[in-house]
Structure formats: structure tokens, C-alpha cells
Structure 1
Amino acid sequence: MKLLRRILLGLVVIAAVLYAAAVGYMYVNQRALQYDAAGPVTPLAETALDGAEDIVVPSGDGQVHGWYQAPQPGKPVIVYFKGNSGSFSKEHERYEQFVADGYGFVAFDYRGFPASPGSVSQAGILEDATTMFDWAAAKGFPLVIWGRSLGSGPSTYVASLRDAKALLLETPFLSALTVAWERYPFLPVGLVMQDQYPVNEWIADVAEPVLVAHGTADLTIGVSNGERLYALVPNKDELWIEPGAGHSDLWARGIWGHALPFFERAMPQ
């Protein structure tokens, strides 16, 4: 019996050490695990955006690089907050469609993503997001906000602090902490996670009309995140749940066909 107790105690100690090592690894490397901030930058000259310009905007102790194009008369500028993978520039097809329908846009890489130097953090992303919204607002055009995936965090944060005409959230999370809990239910993520993006709290202060879009086959951010977040929206406009769509499918599945009338509804006639 004594030998058995010793063996069991040894196994418990080994399990505890391994668990502590896993938590420690997660804490030290959490931003590398959370962000996918690498990839090529598509030159503006290689796109169909003939009227857009490269911009560099100071933000905090760094600078943000992006693209901007003014809208046609009577149309707003879409302030686009990118997702978590690669550079904003790889989504140029979206911006080309915005422009084709008369909309202006500003899109950019947060500090630490491919086009903007620096290191990635929630504080830096929120600062860059607010800076770029204010930069766009100074142009004098009406603004609508589009936040995709990771961008649902800074876009909701900015909408809670600034005045825009509308907020579109594509594949949003309830919070980054919620996603971490869903992926690592056996780890104390609430105690060690630094960049939690509490969208579920920020949304309470968003006065703009909100459209939430999600797909039922999203394996990156489960569709229940979008559904639960929409339930918290003070000024609901539309919840679009696309059957069978994954995390990166909504553009091909027709999100612009929902976004366009949504923005038109939000603009004063």
C-alpha cells in the first residue's frame, strides 16, 4: 500500500509540474499564440485601386501604414479593421468592391502586423484603431465601421467612444477570453491572458446600428459568439447567420449584399 501511495503521489506531482509548465508556456508565449501577424504585403500598385493612396499615420510611439480613398459624393468612408492573419493589403478585392460602389475606405495594419512596424498588443491595437478613426474623421466625410474577426475588438471599442453611422461585425467574438476558454477549457486563461478584448462589455456603449454576420461552420470563432454578442447589441439592425460558412467564407457568400443595404439604411436620406 505504501508503494502504491508513493506511485500515486509521484504521478500527481508529475501532472502538477506538467500543468504548471503548460500554463507558464502559455503565459510567456501568449501573444505568439494569439496573433498571426506575419505574411507578405501586397503593393498598392498591384491592385485595381487606381484612386487610392498609401498613408503613414503616427500612432503612439510608432506609425501605422495603410491605404485610403475618398468616397463619391453622398457616400461614407468605410473604416476597416482587419482580422488576425497577415496584412490588410491581401484583402484588396474587398476595397476594390467598396470603391466600385462609390464608397471610400481606410484600411491598415496594426503595429506589429506586416506593413506597420512595432510589436503586437491589445493596447497598441486599440490605440492604432482610435488614431485611424480620428484621422479618417478629420477628412470630413461620414464614417461607417467594419470589423472583421480580431477587428471586432478594436471596431467595437472605437464605436463605443466615437460617433459613426453604423458598425458591421463580421465573425466577431464575444471576447477573446471567451474564445480562449472554448479552446483551452483546462487552462486558467482568465488569470494569465493579457489581451482579452471584452467586446461583450464595450458593445453596451455602442449607439450605432449594428449588423452581425457569422457562419455556422466557423471553427475559429464559434457562431455562438456572434449570436450571443448580437443579443447584447443596444441598437440592433440585422443578425445574418450563413449556413455552412466558415471563418473566411463570408465575403464569397455575399456579405457585401448585406453590408450595402445596411450602410444605406444607416445613412441619413
Structure 2
Amino acid sequence: MQRLGRIAIGAGIVAVLAYAMVLGAMYFFQRDFQYDRSGRLFGLSETKLTAAELVSIPTADGSSLTGWYQPPAAGKPLIVYFRGNAQSFSREHERFAAFVADGYGFLAFDYRGFPGSPGEVSEANILADGLAAYDWAADKGFPIVLWGRSLGSGPATYVASLREADALLLETPFDSAVSVAADRYWFLPVGLLMADQFPVDQWIKDVTEPVYVAHGTADRTIGVNHGERVYALAPNPDELWIEPGAGHSDMWARGLWERAKGFFQRAEAGVR
């Protein structure tokens, strides 16, 4: 019995040490788990964006962000696009080509720490970068609508809570990054460990713009319940589109752009 007791105590110590090592790894390397900074910045010459330009957006602390910009046609708004978590914004050039084909302008950019923009990735920097991009776009004088995809739902909502735009579209959003982490790492105290928590559920309460949320029921990256919660908290909700069977990267192929155009048209009509 004493031997069994010693074995049980030893196993318990090993389990505690292993858990402590997991906690340490998650804490010290958390941004490597949270952000995908791989990939490269595409050249505009590799795309169909013949009229877009490469731009440098200054931030408040003297850093700069790399982006692509094209002004809208007369009577159309400028889409400030807050990219998702994977690689560079430039990999989504087919979306931007669809925007300009229908007369919309766009500004898309990499947050600091991603392929196009040097610097350190953090929640504070991502939010500051979002404000810098909005302010740069606002100086152009066009009506502005905001589009936040996945990770971009954080800075897009934050910007909408502090600046004036005509609409906020959120594609596969989360209510908070820490809530997504809790879904995935339920056995860890992620609320205590995470530095970058992106409390969209708090920021959305201060958003006066009309809000459109698109999410799929088969999203395994950010569960559809996150989008539903964000929409329920929006003070000025327009529409919640839940697409059966759609995963995290499926919404565009399922017709998001057509729905987005309808939303932007409704929002612009309301502004006028």
C-alpha cells in the first residue's frame, strides 16, 4: 500500500509539473499561438488591381503600415478592410478586385508584425494600427464603411466605437479573443494568461453604426455562437446571416459580397 501511495504521489507531482509547463509555454509563447504571421506581401503586379496603389500609413508612434488603396467611384463608399489572422492582407486580393469592379474603393493593410508591416504584434498595436488606417482613409474625404474579418472584427469594432463610419460589417467575429481561447483550451485559466483579449463584447455597445454579422454554423475556428452574441449586443443591428454548413473561410464563396453590397446600400441610404 505504501508503494502504491508513493506511486500516486509521484504521478500527482509529475502531473502538476506538466501542467505548470503547459501554463508557462502558453504564457510566454502565447502570441505564437494566437497569430499567424507567416507568408509574404504580394505585389500589386501579381493581381488584377491595375488602378490600386501601394501606400504607407503612419502610426501615432512613428511606425508605418503597408497597405493597398484605391478610391471609390462617384457615389460609392470606401471600404476600410480589417484583415483576418492568417499571413498578409494581400493574399485576399481577389476580394479587393471584386470591390473595385463594383465601384467601391478600399484600403487594406497589414497590422504591425505581419508580413507587410514591421514591428511587434500586440493588441495595443493592432488597435492603434486600426485607428491610424481609419484616420488615413478619412482624410481622403469619402464615405467610409468598415469590414472586419475574424481577428479583424476586434479592431474594426474598436474603431467603430471611437470613430464615425456609415456601417460595420463583421465576418465570422468573436465576442472576445479570450472567449475563443476558452472554447479551445477549456482546461487552462486563459483569462489570467492572455495579454491580448480583444473585448468586442464591450466595444460593440458603443457602436452606433448599423451592424451586419455573417457567420457559418460549421465554423470550427470561431464558433457561430460568438457571432450571435456580438449581434445581440449591437445597439443598431441590421442583419444576422447564419449560413448552414459554412466554415470559417467559406462565407465569401457562399455569397457574402452580394449580401454586403445590399447592407452597404441600405446603410448609405440611411445616412443620406
Which TM class, normalised by the smaller chain length?
over 0.9
Partners of 1:24 and 1:40 lie apart in 2 by 30
Of 1-10 and 138-147, the range deviating more from structure 2? 1-10
Name the amino acid aligned to 2:70: Q
**Structure 1 residues 16-71: Cα deviation after superposition (integer angstroms, max 9, x where no partner):** 11000000000010000000011022101221112111001121242100001111
Q: Which runs of 5+ in 1 are unaligned?
A: none
1:47-196 aligned at under 5 Å gives the runs 47-59=47-59, 60-196=61-197
Name the amino acid aligned to 2:50: D
- Aligned pair count reads 269
Instruction: Give percent identity, aligned residues only.
Output: 63
Name the amino acid aligned to 1:48: K
Name the amino acid aligned to 1:68: Y
Partners of 1:57 and 1:135 lie apart in 2 by 7
Partners of 1:248 and 1:143 lie apart in 2 by 25
Q: Which runs of 4+ in 1 moved over 4 A?
A: none
- Give the structure 1 partner of residue 245 of structure 2: 244
- Give the structure 1 partner of residue 26 of structure 2: 26
**Structure 1 residues 152-206: Cα deviation after superposition (integer angstroms, max 9, x where no partner):** 0000000000000000000001110001000000011111100000001100000
TM value normalised by structure 1: 0.98
Once the two structures are TM-superposed, the CA of residue 118 in structure 1 deviates from its matched residue by 1.1
**C-alpha RMSD of the superposition:** 0.9
SS at match of 2:40: coil
SS at match of 2:125: helix
SS at match of 1:65: strand
Partners of 1:257 and 1:215 lie apart in 2 by 16
- Give the structure 1 partner of residue 260 of structure 2: 259
SS at match of 2:238: strand
